[in-house]
Amino acid sequence: MENASKALIIAGAILLAILIISLGILIYNQAAGVVNSNSMSEVERQNFNQKFLQYEGPSVRGTTVRALLQAVLSNNLSADSDDRRVSVKIDGKTEDASMSTSATSAPTDKIKTGSSYTVTCAYGSTGGNTGLVTSITIKEN
C-alpha cells in the first residue's frame, strides 16, 4: 500500500511539472508574438497612406499642395520612428525631413497657390516601412 501511494505522488508531481512547463511555453509564445508584431496591419497601412494619397494627382492646385505639406509636417512631428517619416522633393530638391516652419525658407513658401502641380507618392520596400508612403515628389506643371 505504501508503494502505491508513493507512485501516485510521483505521478502527480510529474503531471504538475508538465503543466507548469506547458504554461511557461504558452506565455513565452504569446509574449514573442507581441514583440514580433511591430509591423502594421493592412488596415493601419491603408489609413497611414490615405493621409497622403488623397493629394496625389497630375493637376493639383497649390493650396492643396500646401495642405499636403502641412499633413506631412504633422506626420513627421508625431512619428514614433524613422520608418514612419515622409520625405518631400519639390522640383527635384529634397526638403528638410522635419520640414521646420521656423526656417527662413519653409517648404510651403516654394508652392505658389495659383499654380498647378503633379504630386506622386513613392512606397518603401524594406524594413518597417514596406508598403508605406515614404516620399512625395512635387513638380510644378
Summarize pLDDT for 18-64 with one digit per residue, the tens.
999 999 999 998 887 665 555 667 788 888 889 999 999 999 999 99
Full DSSP string of 41-99: PHHHHHHHHHHHHTT-EEEEEHHHHHHHHHHHHHHHHH-SSGGG--EEEETTEEPPTT-
Domain ranges for the chain? 1-37, 42-140
Q: Indicate the pTM of the whole model.
A: 0.63
pLDDT of residue 106: 66
pLDDT of residue 103: 45
pLDDT of residue 97: 53
